[in-house]
Amino acid sequence: MTSAALLPADLAEALPALARRRPLLVASDYDGVLAPLVGDPSAAVPHPGIAAALARLAAHDGVVVALVSGRGVADLQAVSGLQGPYRWIGSHGAEYDGPLTGQLAARRDALAERLAPLVAAVPGARLEVKPASVAVHVRQVADRAAAAALLEQADAAADPSLTKKPGKEVLELAVTDADKGSALLRLRADVGAAASVYLGDDRTDEDAFRALPAGDLTVKVGDGDTAARYRVADPAAVVVLLDTLAGLLA
Ligand SMILES: O=P(O)(O)OC[C@H]1O[C@H](O[C@H]2O[C@H](CO)[C@@H](O)[C@H](O)[C@H]2O)[C@H](O)[C@@H](O)[C@@H]1O
């Protein structure tokens, strides 16, 4: 069986035409797509084969590889260990041209101070302070009712100036209104892409799926409602997809 045969038939059929387009933008979310979801956000490493597949893609003329994450760029680079000639877009698009200026930090820190006692009261909950947001994680909260209640409390603590970004076992409150849809459109224009691919697994990725033009290849990883055109099961299938595309570029 060829690796392409491991992909859903509709997706395998769409790849050859996409592979002929240049410039081609290949963009992906990180957690849940390139790396399996795990309890500790600092332990989310790429699935085997991801680093090599991204490097293969980026080695082709006219192909731009981008990592588009809710994480801050520095965190994404450190946790993933990925290295290459990639575009790095972090904080759901707020970090586009480099690190954010310090002016957002005061609002973010005040928010973190408000949320800290709520999180500390729930065993297993985690507060993640990021460049443009604060995330309340409940993946490791054993008491599921307490997890749901904490997310509701965090939601209620958000004033209207904050942007709520619910995700998998997490609620983020952001001090910017950046979203992955706007970031992908900006990136697509910067690259002058004739076509693009975007892979994502979570609610914040739906902004990108909805924003990209119909001819682009949008791929939801995992279960759940989606605006993406195609679907694969998990990060292992993402390796097959990226490798298949790299093979078609050659
Ligand atoms: O946009 P992404 O690259 O998918 O980042 C989204 C969030 O990912 C991280 O949280 C998620 O992954 C963790 C590690 O697997 C998991 O423990 C957590 O439950 C998930 O929500 C990261 O910690 C967040 O900062 C990102 O926004």
Ligand 1 binding residues, C-beta < 6 A: 29-32, 37-39, 41, 44, 69-71, 128, 130, 135, 137, 139, 167-170, 172, 202, 204
Q: Specify the residue with its C-alpha closest to ligand 1, atom 24.
A: 71
Domain count within the chain: 2
d(CA 1, CA 114): 55
* pLDDT tens profile 78-137: 999 999 999 999 999 999 988 888 888 999 999 999 999 999 999 999 999 999 999 999
Q: What is the domain extent for residue 202? A: 3-94+179-249
**Is 57 in contact with 65 (CB distance < 8 Å)?**
yes
Q: Which of 10, 29, 75, 155 is catalytic?
A: 29
Same-domain status, 193 and 84: yes
> Is the same domain home to 27 and 150?
no
Last residue of a domain, one of 133, 159, 174: 174
CA distance 4 to 199: 17
| ipTM of this complex | 0.99
Mean of the per-residue pLDDT values of the chain: 96
Same domain, 216 and 150: no
CATH number assigned to the domain comprising residue 212 = 3.40.50.1000
